[in-house]
Amino acid sequence: MAKLTHFEDGKPRMVDVSEKPATLRVARAEAYVVLPEPAARALAEGGVGKGDPLAVAQLAGLMAAKRTSDLIPLCHPLPLSNVRVDVAFDPEGRRVRIEAEVKTKAETGVEMEALTAASVAALAVYDMLKAAAKGIEIGPVRLLYKSGGKSGTWVRQG
């Protein structure tokens, strides 16, 4: 069983990364927003009074990645070198797919920043479309890829 690094003697702690080398770290995550027919129609027809939900989601994801350490208690604040958030609407599948990629050169990874970006972008889509339908669903939210650091590269299979 893997040792949980954020606990010591049963108490939460921030992991000391001061002795680790700074390396290029990259993480990609995705989130889906499944839309009931009225919300999908509103998005397709541009009938959203608040503005463009996809553009707002993209900006929300970018901002969220930069604020991850403010939201997740044991995350290190990291100097992000790049954040990319792609948001695409599939009208036939009635869903929005969000993919976030985050890069840094640091002592610890950016998985949480990528997951936070994708999650908050999904929440922004929900917020923009909730007036059109109440049954909007978010999920799955998941890590797709991470590279860098001692554990190396990991890629989601399937």
Which helix (H) or strand (E) segment is 65 a member of?
helix 53-66
Nearest-Å Rg of the Cα atoms of the chain is: 17
Cα 94 off chain centre by: 20
Quickly tell me which residue has 């190396």 as its tokens: 152
Q: What share of the chain is helix, strand, coil (3-state, %, to 5)?
A: 30, 35, 40
Of 9, 52, 90, 127, the active-site residue reads: 127
Residue 32's CB is within 10 A of a number of other CB atoms, namely 20
Q: What is the DSSP letter of 124?
A: H
Mean pLDDT, rounded, for 136-147: 98
Domain range summary for the chain, segments of one domain joined by +:
23-147
pLDDT tens per residue, range 82-138: 999 999 999 999 999 999 999 999 999 999 999 999 999 999 999 999 999 999 999
pLDDT tens per residue, range 17-75: 888 889 999 999 999 999 999 999 999 998 778 789 999 999 999 999 999 999 999 99
Residue spans of beta strands (DSSP E) within 91-135: 95-106
Q: Is 86 a catalytic residue?
A: no
For residue 21, the model assigns a pLDDT of 87
Tell me which CATH code domain 23-147 carries.
3.30.70.640
Encoding tokens for residue 62?
A: 């970018």
CA distance linking residue 68 with residue 124, whole number of Å: 16
CA distance linking residue 101 with residue 148, whole number of Å: 14
